[in-house]
Copies of this chain bind each other. A is one copy, B any other.
C-alpha cells in the first residue's frame, strides 16, 4: 500500500483525490490546503483522511511515501524539493516549475534521492494522444510536416502566469511526445489586453529539426472553446478535435505528391504544375477507449514508484516544456524574433 498525500485542493486536487480513492494500491493519508473551507469540504466527503493546513505536517511524516503537488506554480519548487529531500516520491501538476533552473534542481534531487519525479501532463495519458503517438510512430502519416494547435476559450485569468504558461504546456508536451523531438528555436507573439503585464492572446511557433513546424494558438479571450490539433504528413493527415464527444481523431488519406525530374529537381512553370498530384481518399476515425486520463496518470505514477521505472512525463520532459515557455516569453518581448534553445 502506497501512502500518499495531496497538497493543494483547489481545482485539480479534488480530482486527484477521487482517482487515488479508486486505486486499490494507494491510500490517501493527508490532504493539505491553506484554505480552511476547501479543506473541510474534503473532510466531509472523505472522513478518513487527515486534513491539515501546513505542508510541513505532511512532509515531516515518515509514513507518507508519495506527495501530489497541486498548488500554484510558484510554490512547486519549494514543496517538491522539500518532499524529495524527505525521501518522498513526487507527482507535480503541470508546469513542473516556474523556471528551468528550478526544474533542473528538482531533477537532480530526484536522482540523488532515487525518487520518482513525475509531471502530471495529463493529456499524454488520454486515449487520443496515445493513439496519435501510435499513428505517428508507425509512420502512418509519412514524414510529419507540421503540428498545429488551437486551444482557446474564455479563460480563467491567473494572476501569476500568462496564457502561454497556462495553456501552452499542454501543446508543447503533446508535440514533443508525439513527434519524439524537441524544438531548436521558438518564435512567439502575444498581446496583453485585460491586464497590462500578462499576455492573454499568444501564438507560439516551434522550429523542430528540418522543416517541421509546431504552432500553437493559446487564448483566454475567445468566445468559444476550441481544442483542435492538426498534424500534416507526407502520406496522411490527422485532425484531433477534443471537443467532439466521439470521433475525436480523424485520419485522412489525403496528401500531395511532387514527382521529380530525372535530374532530381522539380520542374518549373506549367510543366511543374502537372507534376504535383493530389490525393483525397477515405477518412477513418479510430475507436478510442473511454478512460479518464487522470486515472492512468495516477496508475502510471504508482507503477513507477513500485518498479523504479522512469515516468513517461518525467522531470526531463517537464524541463523541456519549461525551456520552450521561457523562450516564448523572450520572443514575445522581441515581437516574434526567434530565440534558440
Contacts and interface: CB of A to CB of B under 8 A. Distances in A.
A212 B193 CA distance: 9
Interface in A294-340: 331, 334-338
A222 interface: yes
A135 interface: no
Interface in A265-311: 266, 268-270, 272-273, 276, 278, 280-287
Interface in A211-235: 211-213, 215, 217, 219-225, 230, 232, 234
A10 to B, nearest CB: 12
Given A247-B283, A282-B285, A191 B268 contact: no
Interface string A15-33: 0000001000000000000
A47 interface: yes
A192 B211 contact: yes
A191 B145 contact: yes
Given A254-B154, A337-B336, A284 B287 contact: no
A223 B201 contact: no
Contact of A205 (B189, B192, B254): B189
Interface residues of A, number: 80
A253 B225 CA distance: 15
Interface stretch (A57-65, A166-174, A238-246): A238-246
A224 to B, nearest CB: 6
Contact of A187 (B47, B189, B256, B266): B189
A213 B218 CA distance: 13
Contacts of A145: 191, 193, 201, 221
Given A221-B256, A245-B225, A234 B193 contact: yes
Q: Which of A193, A213, A252 has the most CB of B within 10 A?
A: A193
A238 B224 CA distance: 9
Contacts of A192: 211
Contacts of A276: 157, 194-195
Given A203-B205, A211-B192, A280-B287, A232 B221 contact: yes
A238 B223 CA distance: 7
A211 B158 CA distance: 20
Contacts of A189: 187, 205, 207, 213, 215, 336
Given A203-B205, A256-B221, A282 B284 contact: yes
A237 to B, nearest CB: 4
Contacts of A223: 230, 232, 236-239, 250, 252, 254, 283
A258 interface: yes
A217 B234 CA distance: 19
A227 to B, nearest CB: 10
Nearest to A236: B223
Interface string A114-157: 00000000000000000000000000000001101010101001
A252 to B, nearest CB: 3
Interface in A169-201: 185, 187, 189-196, 200-201
Given A193-B211, A221-B145, A237-B222, A285 B287 contact: no
5 contacts: A47-B47, A145-B191, A157-B256, A219-B232, A283-B287
